[in-house]
Amino acid sequence: MRIHLVAVAVLTVSTLSVFAETNSASTSSAIDTEGREITGQEKDEFLAKFGGIGIAIAPSADGVLIKKVLPDTPACAAGMKAGDIVTQIDSKSTKGLKLQEVVDQIRGAVGSEVELLVSRQGQPEPIKLKLVRRVVPVPKGDVNCE
């Protein structure tokens, strides 16, 4: 199963367009743009423009399954939990979407809002959450929101 971490974690890519880490890909501390690596200040300025909410996701028949919620992130502060199912992003259904489409809808400009509709086992009604995107560093090791 492929899990996407929805945070601003940059893979070494040639187009600067992928902002999701997968557990099947290696990461790099630099960004490759058409053969030229950028690091330091250029990287920081680039990353400061894009934000996420700090969740790891996987496909689900009902939408998108939350596999992990990272600590000190908008998702953690909003009370999201592993096992939640995201059924809508900004009033659009997630059913049938590819993971990259979900990632593209959740990530956005730092400081901008994203609204999620979340189903949780044991809750009769879906939970509506408004989260403010921010830069979410990828933690070292296996850590979860408590």
What pTM was estimated for this model as a whole? 0.69
Among the listed ranges 6-10, 74-78, 93-97, 121-125, which one has the minimum average pLDDT value? 6-10
Please give the residue that has the higher pLDDT: either 88 or 137: 88
Dig out the tokens for 50 from the structure: 């894009």
Question: Phi/psi of residue 102, each to 5°?
Answer: -65, -45
What is residue 137's predicted lDDT score, i.e. its pLDDT? 78
Report domain 1-137's class. mainly beta
Judged by DSSP in three states, 37 sits in strand
Alpha-carbon distances of 99 from 9, 40, 48, 64, 69, rounded to whole Å: 15, 30, 23, 8, 16
Q: Is the pLDDT of residue 12 over 90?
A: no
pLDDT band at 139 (very low <50, low <70, confident <90, very high): confident
Which helix or strand (DSSP H or E) is residue 61 part of? none
